[in-house]
Amino acid sequence: MSALLEVGGVSKRFGGVQAVEDLSFRLEQGEILALIGPNGAGKSTVFNLISGVNAPDCGRILFAGADITGKPPYEIAHCGIARAHQVVQPLSELSVLDNCLVGACYGRDGLSLAAGRVVVREVAALVGLTAQLGVPAGRLTTAGKKRLELARALCGRPRLLLLDEVLAGLNPNEVDRMVDVILRIRAGGVSILMVEHVMRAIMRLSDRIVVLNLGRYLAEGSPQEIANHPAVVEAYLGNPKLFAATAPEQP
């Protein structure tokens, strides 16, 4: 049985910088897969390649068995892939509801405004934005804008959700609440590929972790395996005690 997402031998160079080199990994249906690594490891480039922002120089990207390599972002969205960005850029003067309608109307199903409003209300209840649907997006707190970014992506009804550091800038309580939301999203049938630096959240959420370093594949495994991988500790944190503090307990 083929994976939902297959990245095979993908490389991308920007001038003299080899951002990603011969990278391969798979994401299974219903899985939460984390992509981690130090700054400059190539994580954002991988997301850009999958979401159609950039085309790879070589290699293939398959989604649900179809080749999506080099397709533009709007075609990727119609295929069923949505992305929540690290730097949130809501349409500040529009309401939360209207921001989410953008995702619903231009996502996988291209919903009408009437059908889109139904989906928006369902997603708002899931992420905790129901009370803010009529509020201008620019008035939301940082945590509220993060939830809006997540909601707008979900309103596209994706099969695969790319989460690009959605926990960045949140305090510990907000992180915990967002982790619960992400787990509910997965329970609803959406597979998730996430880039994140909040290691305690990564350890709680991930089924598997793929580690990059300098644009190359370094390691892959369960959270426990990655937490105890010497090369990962050296490349990613440099201090084994920092990683050990986030590691899940042995069953």
Global confidence as pTM: 0.90
| Structural domain includes residue 177 | no
| Structural domain includes residue 162 | no
Domain that holds residue 27: 1-71+195-251
Q: In the chain, how many domains are there? A: 1
Neighbours of 30 (CB within 10 A): 13
| Structural domain includes residue 101 | no
| Structural domain includes residue 172 | no
How many whole angstroms separate alpha carbon 3 and alpha carbon 66?
Answer: 11
Task: Identify the pLDDT of residue 245.
Answer: 45
Regions in the chain scoring below 70 on pLDDT: 1, 236-251
Query: Which residue's entry shows tokens 């709007």?
Result: 74
Task: Identify the pLDDT of residue 113.
Answer: 94
| Structural domain includes residue 246 | yes
* Dihedral angle, C-alpha 54, 167, 34, 231, nearest 10 °: 100
| Structural domain includes residue 125 | no
How many whole angstroms separate alpha carbon 245 and alpha carbon 128?
Answer: 30
- CATH number, domain containing residue 10: 3.40.50.300
| Structural domain includes residue 188 | no
Task: Identify the pLDDT of residue 251.
Answer: 41
How many whole angstroms separate alpha carbon 127 and alpha carbon 214?
Answer: 35
| Structural domain includes residue 67 | yes
